[in-house]
């Protein structure tokens, strides 16, 4: 998704903007640009492609000045091109805008502007904003932005400059994240914290409908209606190093290796000292409210949804309350049946996914209590939900989600146990048994990671195939779905995840000599059934990799071609281990094929459009 950086201070802005945009590269983009208040006026340089292209264009002709805005664009309206890149200007070239999000009524607005004589250069919705602001300008940029914004519908985070007021930078947030950084004689705007963390740890998080007017010495916060507001500074306590590669070749590999720490951190302080109960003091819902819940909807997108599928299994088995899972982009349009005793759980690493946020709002509109499981403190999802469990995975940079997913599993285990102990569906001894097994998970993941080379070999052999299958039953099927998504998104190899028993109802027709099948067999009660399904694929020529429990290798040896064993844990907890080889498999397959592991084609880290 697009990235915004802005600076006003006493240093040259160009390097600060470029470095800031580099920190946002992980969000995915296809073009980039900056606008700077120079001695000649407001100047813009922008180009399609990577930031390196922009840097090389600027190297011969730098933009000098201490106030500027920058943008990385992920195309929505109009293909990636120089002219569609941001910043956009009006016809007088006196106003410049960077924008994240979508202006839904831009065509309508554009038509009116065209009739009034405005000429448009790009196909974007953003260009409309710069024209609108120029029309509304009568000597005060803040008022002009407020009037323009009132005419816009959709989602936007904006950074606005005008040559007429070179010592002001205006920022607006409406359904697209934006933060303000506060330094000494310097102020910043950014769509995400890493962009400015090198310069300041003190930030304001704007809410929807809020704006900020930045000068070198002050930040004025107000609503888009013009009412002044005050806010607490949020002090960022994590380090930029945590958001850098720390010696790994890719962020994804680093993040895979950070999972033991992510598990420990997510459990920290949430298990009683005697290890016999879960303590979720962050939950505002009372025991009575929890006891009153009779159905659950888990709503999320992509990998977070796959964590939700495991969550369904966890809650249903520990609490015996029915759980539905839903794709967030479908949820609000299908009139979900939400009763007063429904708990809606939204899951989101970033906490900014537009579809998930919209589902959260729809659930609240219908009267449900919403619990969010998210990785980002202060994110929209975290702020709007009634209850929040923060996963402590640390910043996740690679587009492919790994440690965020597995920390979401830990959050589900904790919440499921907490709920079970509250309503009494599990006694203290049973809770203690699961908690003890959970506390062994970090070490067990370390053991798995030490065997990465085995998976690397398998990955290299599957990378020559154009299609493969992941199969499993029960909770293994949920993990199979995550393994398949991970492989698709970074290796571009087509794969499908199937409930193993369902293959023979059609998909088996696709299995031919040599088709790779990754079969998960961690659920002992389903073991015999899985072996039969594996045989069905092998009889058609499949080449099967079994993901099995330690100690089962001999038994399984006759049924599969290769196998990889995960350490023993409780059946409910196996996803936290079995996903590790699947993450490594996709990583090494992508590597073998020479793809950009951390920034796969067509994808963005944070999907803030519907
Ligand atoms: O930030 P979120 O967890 O809400 O993101 C949801 C999905 O966009 C995300 O999980 C996506 O599927 C990942 N690229 C998968 O690796």
**Tens of pLDDT, residues 225-262:** 999 999 999 998 776 666 677 678 899 999 999 999 89
Is 301 annotated in the active site?
A: no
**Contact between residue 408 and residue 351 where contact means Cβ atoms under 8 Å apart:** no
Say what the pLDDT of residue 376 is. 83
Task: Tell me what pLDDT residue 245 has.
Answer: 75
* Nearest atom (ligand 1) to Cα of 399: 14
Of the listed ranges 129-133, 358-362, 531-535, 599-603, the one predicted with least confidence? 599-603
In the predicted model, is pLDDT for residue 584 greater than 70? yes
CA–CA distance, 410 with 421 (Å, rounded to integer): 16
Mean pLDDT along residues 12-24: 95
DSSP secondary structure string, 286-334? Answer: -HHHHHT--EEEEEE-HHHHHHHHHHHHHHHHHH---EEEEEHHHHTTS
Q: Which of 347, 353, 483, 489 gets mutated to test ligand 1 (max ligand atoms within 8 A of its CB)?
A: 353
Q: pLDDT value at position 161?
A: 98
Q: Is the CB of 16 under 6 A from ligand 1?
A: no
Residue 28 has pLDDT above 70, yes or no: no
If one residue of 250, 303, 348, 393 were mutated to test the ligand 1 pocket, choosing by the most ligand atoms within 8 A of its CB, it would be 303
For ligand 1, the distance from its centroid to the CA atom of residue 173, given in whole angstroms, is: 22
Least confident range from 391-395, 454-458, 571-575: namely: 391-395
Query: CA torsion sign, 99 to 105 to 111 to 112?
Result: negative
Q: Establish whether residue 586 lines the binding site of ligand 1, counting it when its CB lies within 6 angstroms of any ligand atom.
A: no
Q: Residue 309 and residue 304: Cα distance in Å, rounded?
A: 9
Among protein residues, the one with the nearest Cα to ligand 1's atom 11 is: 302
CA of 330 to the centre of ligand 1 (A): 16
Binding site membership of 356 for ligand 1 (Cβ less than 6 Å): yes
The domains of the chain, with CATH numbers, are 3-244 (3.60.20.10), 253-441 (3.40.50.10490), 451-592 (3.40.50.10490)
Q: Is 401 in the pocket of ligand 1 (CB under 6 A)?
A: yes
Testing ligand 1's pocket by substitution, the residue of 176, 601, 607 carrying the most ligand atoms inside 8 A of its CB is 607
What separation in angstroms does the CA of 284 have from each of 219, 281, 349, 373, 470? Answer: 33, 8, 21, 14, 39
Instruction: Find the largest Cα–Cα distance for the chain.
Output: 80
> What is the pLDDT, as a whole number, of residue 27?
67
Atom of ligand 1 nearest to the CA of 486: 16
Residue 607 CA to ligand 1 center (angstroms) comes to 8
151 is catalytic: no
Q: Tell me the percentage of the chain whose pLDDT exceeds 90.
A: 82
Q: Which of 425, 446, 389, 402 is nearest to 270 (CA)?
A: 389
At residue 357, does pLDDT exceed 70?
Answer: yes
pLDDT at residue 76 above 80? Answer: no
Is ligand 1 within 6 A of the CB of residue 353? yes
Helix then strand count (H, E) for the chain reads: 19, 24
Å from CA of 302 to ligand 1 middle? 5
The strands making up 516-521's β-sheet, listed across from edge to edge, are 494-499, 467-472, 516-521, 543-549, 562-566
**How far apart are alpha carbons 278 and 523 in whole angstroms?**
25
CB burial class (10 A; 0-12, 13-18, 19+) of residue 451?
middle
What CA–CA distance (Å, rounded) separates 559 from 566? 17
302 lines ligand 1 (CB under 6 A): yes
> What pLDDT score was predicted for residue 242?
65
Residue 34 has phi, psi (to 5 degrees) of -140, 155
> Of how many residues is the chain composed?
610
Mean pLDDT for the stretch of residues 119-141: 96
Q: Band the pLDDT of 186: cuts 50, 70, 90.
A: very high
pLDDT of residue 377: 75
Sign of torsion over alpha carbons 170, 94, 28, 1: positive
* Most trustworthy range by pLDDT among 18-27, 387-396, 458-467, 571-580: 571-580
Report DSSP state, residue 87.
P
pTM: 0.75
Does residue 608 have a pLDDT over 80?
no
Structure-token pair, residue 144: 């002009």
Confirm if 493 and 462 have CB atoms less than 8 A apart: yes
348 CA distance to ligand 1 centroid (A)? 7
**Would you say the CB of residue 399 lies under 6 angstroms from ligand 1?**
yes
Rounded percentage of the chain residues whose pLDDT exceeds 70: 98
Distance 605 CA to ligand 1 centre (A): 7
Over the stretch 508-538, which tens digit does the pLDDT of each residue have?
A: 899 999 999 999 999 999 989 999 999 999 9
Taking CA atoms only, the protein residue closest to ligand 1 atom 6 is 301
The mean pLDDT of 216-231, rounded to a whole number, is 96
């Amino acid at each position: 998704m697009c990235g915004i950086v802005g600076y006003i201070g006493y240093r040259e802005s160009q390097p600060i903007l470029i470095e800031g945009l580099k920190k946002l590269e992980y969000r995915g983009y296809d073009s980039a640009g900056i606008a700077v208040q120079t001695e000649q006026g407001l100047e813009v340089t922008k180009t399609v492609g990577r930031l390196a292209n922009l840097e090389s264009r600027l190297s011969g002709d730098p933009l000098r000045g201490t106030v500027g805005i920058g943008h990385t664009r992920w195309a929505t309206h109009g293909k990636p091109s120089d002219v569609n890149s941001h910043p956009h200007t009006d016809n007088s070239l006196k106003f410049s805008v960077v924008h994240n999000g979508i202006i839904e009524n831009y065509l309508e607005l554009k038509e009116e502007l065209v009739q009034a004589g405005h000429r448009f250069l790009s196909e974007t919705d953003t260009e409309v904003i710069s024209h609108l602001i120029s029309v509304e300008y009568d000597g005060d940029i803040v008022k002009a932005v407020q009037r323009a914004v009132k005419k816009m519908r959709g989602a936007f985070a904006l950074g606005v400059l005008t040559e007429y007021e070179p010592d002001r930078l205006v920022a607006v947030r409406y359904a697209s994240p934006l933060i303000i950084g506060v330094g000494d004689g310097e102020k910043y705007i950014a769509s995400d914290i890493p962009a400015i963390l090198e310069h300041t740890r003190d930030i304001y998080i704007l809410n929807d409908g809020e704006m900020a007017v930045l000068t070198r010495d002050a930040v004025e916060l107000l609503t888009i209606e013009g009412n002044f507001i005050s806010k607490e500074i949020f002090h960022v306590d994590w380090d930029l190093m945590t958001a850098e590669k720390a010696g790994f070749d890719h962020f994804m590999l680093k993040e895979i290796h950070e999972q033991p720490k992510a598990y420990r951190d997510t459990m920290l302080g949430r298990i009683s000292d005697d290890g016999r109960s879960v303590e979720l003091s962050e939950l505002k819902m009372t025991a009575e409210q929890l006891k009153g819940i009779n159905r659950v909807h888990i709503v999320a997108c992509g990998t977070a949804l796959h964590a939700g599928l495991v969550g369904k299994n966890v809650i249903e088995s520990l609490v015996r309350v029915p759980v539905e899972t839903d794709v967030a982009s479908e949820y609000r349009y299908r009139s979900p049946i939400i009763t007063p005793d429904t708990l809606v759980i939204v899951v989101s690493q970033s906490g900014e996914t537009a579809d998930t946020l919209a589902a959260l709002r729809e659930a609240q509109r219908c009267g449900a209590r919403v619990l969010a499981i998210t990785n980002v403190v202060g994110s929209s999802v975290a702020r709007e939900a009634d209850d929040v469990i923060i996963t402590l995975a640390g910043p996740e940079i690679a587009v492919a989600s790994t440690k965020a997913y597995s920390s979401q599993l830990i959050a589900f285990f904790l919440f499921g146990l907490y709920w079970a102990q509250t309503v009494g569906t599990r006694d203290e001894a049973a809770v203690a048994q699961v908690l003890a097994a959970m506390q062994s998970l970090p070490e067990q993941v370390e053991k798995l990671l030490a065997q990465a080379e085995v998976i690397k070999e398998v990955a290299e052999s599957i990378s020559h195939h154009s299609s493969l299958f992941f199969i499993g039953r029960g909770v293994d099927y949920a993990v199979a779905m995550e393994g398949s998504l991970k492989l698709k998104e970074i290796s571009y190899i087509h794969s499908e995840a199937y409930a193993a028993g369902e293959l023979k109802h059609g998909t088996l027709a696709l299995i031919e000599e040599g088709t790779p099948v990754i079969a998960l067999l961690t659920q002992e009660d389903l073991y015999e059934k899985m072996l039969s399904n594996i045989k069905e694929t092998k009889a058609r020529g499949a080449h099967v990799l079994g993901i099995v429990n330690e100690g089962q290798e001999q038994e399984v040896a006759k049924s599969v071609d290769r196998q990889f064993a995960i350490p023993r844990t409780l059946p409910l907890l196996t996803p936290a281990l079995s996903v590790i080889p699947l993450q490594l498999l996709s990583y090494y397959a992508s590597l073998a094929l020479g793809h950009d592991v951390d920034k796969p084609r067509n994808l963005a880290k944070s999907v803030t459009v519907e």
